[in-house]
Structure 1
């Protein structure tokens, strides 16, 4: 997971807070709406710029590490989207610093704004999951869209800076 490129392994969205996550094979990601159809990404009327929590990304390896810490067997593995993240990447370490840029597919670029701190909802899924997601930004990163793009599962993920 040390390379500067990886793969987009999953895409998910939800229409409102606490709604079920919907898995997708492809989606438009825009500065105006974040992941198309996801409630969190829409830029509110009168806002100067997109929200800092417009798109959430998680590493498949970090999710798996948290599950291993809870002794969850591979055949009982919880799907990554239960983390409520929009994008799951594999084979690349997401930046742990605001200002870094993650590029997905031919044109989508997302600026990392902050760590995605796990919330108490995680313990509703599995007791101890919130704590297991705390070390080393395992809960993922949050970002805002810099450049629009159509993305699809299997697209290359690159760390630009």
Structure 2
């Protein structure tokens, strides 16, 4: 199952403005370059380094509310198209040639979504529609248009 990276966004500080990009470096230590959420704090696990949302889920939420807001209003880092984000923590996805992310948990919509549009929090709540959070396993440079796919489980690779 292959999809496409359809968008990249970051914000340099909490509640700061979102900046959309065509390409970006992603590191194990800092997540997306310049994004405040990506840094792993001392003793932390980095479970929220990168946030991803499916284009179809954002479109469904917008249709439900009768809005047409840009995806980055979700405040997610990566927009994926034609791809079902795994809903199983521990699953790894590869974006482009080198970047590997491990899904850590659902990205529950917060009350901030109500500031974006009334009802948006509820529209993003069902079935992981708000997206997924991930940590960086293997760093890399990614660009809009890169392929995204499920990466083979690390335990299966070790056994092979």
**Shared fold per TM-score greater than 0.5:** yes
Residues matched between the structures, number: 152
* CA shift digits 1:5-52 (9 cap, x unpaired): 1000000000010000000000001111001100010122x32x5411
RMSD between superposed Cα atoms in Å: 0.9
Write the distance in 1 (CA, Å) between the matches of 2:2 and 2:31.
22
* CA shift digits 1:66-118 (9 cap, x unpaired): 1111122xxxx100000000000000100001000111000000000000000
Write the distance in 1 (CA, Å) between the matches of 2:97 and 2:45.
21
2:103 pairs with one of 112, 115, 122: 112
Write the distance in 1 (CA, Å) between the matches of 2:22 and 2:66.
30
TM-score (norm 2): 0.92
The equivalent residue for 1:128 is: 119
1:52 and 2:60 aligned: no
Unpaired runs of at least 5, structure 1:
none
DSSP-derived class of the 2:52 partner: strand
Unpaired runs of at least 5, structure 2:
153-160
The equivalent residue for 1:8 is: 5
- Write out the 4+ residue segments of structure 1 that deviate beyond 3 Å after TM superposition: none
The equivalent residue for 1:63 is: 58
